[in-house]
Amino acid sequence: MSSRSTTRSDYPFMGLGIDTRTLQSTLRHPNFKSVCAANLSLEDLQGKTVEERAIVYAKIALKLHGTNFILVAPGGVKNTNPRPGSIVEQIPGFTVDELPDQFDFCALGNRYFQQGDLEIAVKIYDEGLSRDVAPEVRLLLRHNRSQAHLRLANFASTYHDSSFVLKQLDEGVVGPSNARVKATIRLARALEGMRHLTLALEQYKKALDINAAASEAVEGLERVQRKIRESEEGSYDWRKLEKIAETETRLDAGDFIGPIKLVNMEGRGGGRGVVATRDIEAGELLLVDKAIVVGDQHDASDPSRVFPFGGNRAWQLSLYQLAQRLAHVLKEDPSLVPFVHSLHSKVLPASCDVAFESLDQRPLPQEDESVQLGTIRLESICATNSFGWREGSLERSKGSTLDPGSSLHLRMSLLNHSCVPNAAREEICDVKMARARVPIKEGEEVCLSYVDPLHSRRPYILAAHFPDGCKCAYCLDEKHDTAEQIAKRNELHDQTLPKVSQISQQLSEGLSPEVFAPILEFQDHVAALELTYSAGSSTFRPHLAGACLFFASILRNALSFDAADHYTLEYLRFLGAIVEEHADRIEVRAAPAFEGSVAPLELISIAGHHARVKGDVVEGRKWFSAAAKMSRLVHGDDWDAFIDRHAEHVQR
C-alpha cells in the first residue's frame, strides 16, 4: 500500500473515529491485505449502526483470527487493553472500546444466532457471562449459549451449559417458561452426541415426564433406543440408513463391536492387532464405528495449509482440518484423550489400550477441566490412523490428487493391513463398518486393506505406512513370484487399457470380422498375464482380475455371452471371491477383497443372460439366488434389502 495521504471520502470507516494516522498504519499493516481478502467490503460500514458495524468487524476478525473478534462500542473509540479472559481482541490499527455491563449481550448474541453466525453468538454470550450480571441474566445467557454450542456440535459445552441451567432452576433462579424442558432435551442431546447413550436415554425420559408431547424428546428417545439396540445386537436397517445418508453427511448409528478383540501382535508397527474371538462366518458384521472427527475440507486453493505429514496421503488438506478438529474435540471432552492417545503413533508409544472399551462408561467432562495436548502426537495419530472419507469419491477420482476428506475412527484404525484382507470395509457417511469377507477362525487376525491393489499410488502409500515392508501374508507370498514375473506383469498390465480401448472403438462401429482378431489377441494377453503368477500362489491376482473384467465386457458386446460369463467369474475369483457351481445350486463362500458391491451386480447379469438370452429360467434363478447370497456377504442384505438395493438392475 502506498503512503499517500488519505481523505475522509476515500475511506468511509474513518467515520468510525479512526484518525488518519491510525488509518495509515492500518493500511501499511499486513493484516490490511487480509481484511480486503476477507471479501467483506469496508464500504459495508458506511451508514451502518454501531451494532451493524460490529457485525462487519466481527466477520472480518473471524476470518483473520478464527474465533476472536472486535466489538465496537457506541460513543467513539478509545484505547483500552482487553481484560484477561475477555474475547475482545485488537486487530492492529483498530482500537477497541468496552461495552458497559448493562449492554444487552443476550439480545446481540441472539441476533448472531438467528443469522447463523454461531461462533460469534457464543463469543457474545461469553462476553456477557464475563460481566457482573444478575443470576437470571446468567441463566439466560447460558441457556442460549447451550443452543449455539449444540448447533456447533460442541457437546461437552452444551452439557455444561444445560446442566448449569437445570441446577439454577432447581435453586429457584427464574428462567424462561419452558427452560426446564428445553435444557433437559439439550442435556440429552449433548450426552447423545458424546455417545453417553444410557445417560442420554434417562434425560429424554425426564424431558417426557415434564412434557409428554415434546416431539424432540420423543424422537430422541426412539433414536437412542435404536442406537443402544444396534450397539448391543449389531442389528441395523442398513437400507434405511443408506437412504438417510443420501441427503446427510453425518449418520446417527450406534457403534458395534462384534466377535473381535485387541491383542498384542508381533510385526505390526504399534504392536497390536485385532483377532476373532470365535469362528466367524463370511458376511458377519465385525465392527461399526462412527468417526470421532471428520476433516471434510477440500479447498485445494491454499497449498500453504498442507499439513507436513510426509506426503503419504492424497488427502492432506483435510488431514490438516482433521487434526485441528481433533484438538477441538479433545479440549471439549478430555475423557476422550486416552481413547485417542491409545491409537498407535509412530512418534510416541501408545499410552494404553482403551479403544475397545465402551465410550458409554467413560467419565463425564468436568467444567473448566484443562487438557494437555501434544500437537506432534495428534498430527501423528491423524496421519497414521485416518481413513479417506467418502471413499466412493476417492475411487471415482482414483489416481488424481483430489482430497476426498479424512475421518478418524477409534476402533477401525486398530485393524492392521493385509493386501488380501479377510474383512471388507463399507462406509455410510461418517460411519464405517467391517464385515468378514471369508470365514475367519477363532484367534485369526482380522485385517483390512488400506489401499486398493490397483491404486496408482499403492506402492508409495504402502511404503509410507510400512517402511520395513508390508508384513501381510500376501506380500510375503508374492515374493514367490520372481522379479521378472512381476516386471512382465506390470508391463502387460500397462498394455491392458490401450488394447481394450482399441477393441471397444472397433466394436462401436459394428460387429465385423476385423474385430475378432484383436479379441483373440486379447485372450492371449489375459493368458500371458496369468503366466506371470506362480502356479501355486494365491488366487488373488488383481492385475489379472482387471483384464478379465475388461474381457468379459468385450465379449458381451461381441454377443459371446457364455464366454463373457466365464471371464466375469474369473474376475470375481481373481479378486478373492469364492463362487462354486453345483448341479442344483451355486455356493457363495467369499466376497471379493475389493469392489465387493459390484459382485452381486455381476451375478445378476449372469442370471439375466441365462433367463432372458438362453431362456433357461431355472439356471437364471440359481444365479439370481447366488447374487442374493453375495449381497448378504457384502452388505449383510436379507432378501428384501437385496431386491430393494438392486431394483434398477433387476428390472433391466
Q: Which residues sit at the interface with ligand SAM, rule CB under 6 A? A: 268-273, 344, 384-385, 413-414, 416-418, 465-466, 470-472
As measured in angstroms, the least distance from the Cβ of 425 to ligand SAM is 13
As measured in angstroms, the least distance from the Cβ of 557 to ligand SAM is 39
Q: What is the CA radius of gyration of the chain?
A: 30
Q: Give whichever of 272 and 435 is closer to ligand SAM, judged by the CB atom.
A: 272
As measured in angstroms, the least distance from the Cβ of 606 to ligand SAM is 34
Q: CB within 8 A of 301, min separation 6: which ones? A: none
Q: Give whichever of 288 and 564 is closer to ligand SAM, judged by the CB atom.
A: 288
Q: Give whichever of 420 and 626 is closer to ligand SAM, judged by the CB atom.
A: 420
Q: Give whichever of 92 and 349 is closer to ligand SAM, judged by the CB atom.
A: 349
Indicate the helix (H) or strand (E) that contains 206: helix 197-210
Q: Give whichever of 240 and 261 is closer to ligand SAM, judged by the CB atom.
A: 261
Q: Give whichever of 165 and 410 is closer to ligand SAM, judged by the CB atom.
A: 410
As measured in angstroms, the least distance from the Cβ of 290 to ligand SAM is 17
As measured in angstroms, the least distance from the Cβ of 355 to ligand SAM is 9
As measured in angstroms, the least distance from the Cβ of 210 to ligand SAM is 45
As measured in angstroms, the least distance from the Cβ of 420 to ligand SAM is 11
Q: Give whichever of 31 and 386 is closer to ligand SAM, judged by the CB atom.
A: 386
As measured in angstroms, the least distance from the Cβ of 460 to ligand SAM is 14
Q: Give whichever of 418 and 568 is closer to ligand SAM, judged by the CB atom.
A: 418
Q: Give whichever of 57 and 315 is closer to ligand SAM, judged by the CB atom.
A: 315
Q: Give whichever of 418 and 532 is closer to ligand SAM, judged by the CB atom.
A: 418
* Coil/strand/helix, residue 590: strand
As measured in angstroms, the least distance from the Cβ of 349 to ligand SAM is 10
As measured in angstroms, the least distance from the Cβ of 628 to ligand SAM is 33
Q: CB within 8 A of 482, min separation 6: which ones? A: none
Three cell numbers, residue 496: 491392458
Query: Is 76 in contact with 17 (CB distance < 8 Å)?
Result: yes
Q: Give whichever of 180 and 344 is closer to ligand SAM, judged by the CB atom.
A: 344
Residue type, 393: S
Q: Tell me the HSE value of 55 on the side-chain side, using a 13 A CA sphere.
A: 19
Query: Is 422 in contact with 438 (CB distance < 8 Å)?
Result: yes
Indicate the helix (H) or strand (E) that contains 428: strand 423-428
Dmax over CA atoms of the chain, in Å, equals 94
Q: CA of 195: how far to CAs of 135, 142, 414, 548, in Å?
A: 31, 23, 20, 46
- The residue number with the shortest CB distance to ligand SAM is 269
Q: Give whichever of 33 and 479 is closer to ligand SAM, judged by the CB atom.
A: 479
Q: Give whichever of 460 and 466 is closer to ligand SAM, judged by the CB atom.
A: 466
As measured in angstroms, the least distance from the Cβ of 418 to ligand SAM is 6
As measured in angstroms, the least distance from the Cβ of 470 to ligand SAM is 5
Three cell numbers, residue 99: 461495552
Phi-psi bin for 88: left (phi > 0), alpha (psi -120 to 50), beta? beta
Q: Give whichever of 103 and 460 is closer to ligand SAM, judged by the CB atom.
A: 460
Q: What angle do CA 354, 355, 358 make, to 5 degrees?
A: 85
Q: CB within 8 A of 124, min separation 6: which ones? A: 105, 108, 109, 112
Task: Give dist(CA 43, CA 581) in Å, integer.
Answer: 75
DSSP string, 317-329: HHHHHHHHHHHHH
Query: Is 574 in contact with 545 (CB distance < 8 Å)?
Result: yes
As measured in angstroms, the least distance from the Cβ of 269 to ligand SAM is 2
* Coil/strand/helix, residue 585: coil
Q: Give whichever of 187 and 378 is closer to ligand SAM, judged by the CB atom.
A: 378
The alpha helices in 515-591, defined as continuous H runs, are 516-531, 542-557, 561-574
Q: Tell me the HSE value of 97 on the side-chain side, using a 13 A CA sphere.
A: 16
Query: Is 422 in contact with 455 (CB distance < 8 Å)?
Result: no
Q: CB within 8 A of 508, min separation 6: which ones? A: none
Q: Which of 197, 186, 140 is nearest to 163 (CA)?
A: 186
Query: Is 551 in contact with 523 (CB distance < 8 Å)?
Result: yes
Q: Which of 570, 617, 159 is nearest to 366 (CA)?
A: 159
Q: CA of 560: how far to CAs of 384, 528, 564, in Å?
A: 47, 21, 6
Task: Give dist(CA 602, CA 625) in Å, integer.
Answer: 12
As measured in angstroms, the least distance from the Cβ of 450 to ligand SAM is 7
Query: Is 269 in contact with 439 (CB distance < 8 Å)?
Result: no
> Helix 50-65 to helix 118-129 angle, to the nearest 10 degrees?
110
As measured in angstroms, the least distance from the Cβ of 328 to ligand SAM is 22
Q: Give whichever of 95 and 449 is closer to ligand SAM, judged by the CB atom.
A: 449
As measured in angstroms, the least distance from the Cβ of 348 to ligand SAM is 12
For 555, phi then psi, to 5°, come to: -65, -35
Q: What angle do CA 425, 319, 317 make, to 5 degrees?
A: 115
- Residue identified by cell 490412523 is 385
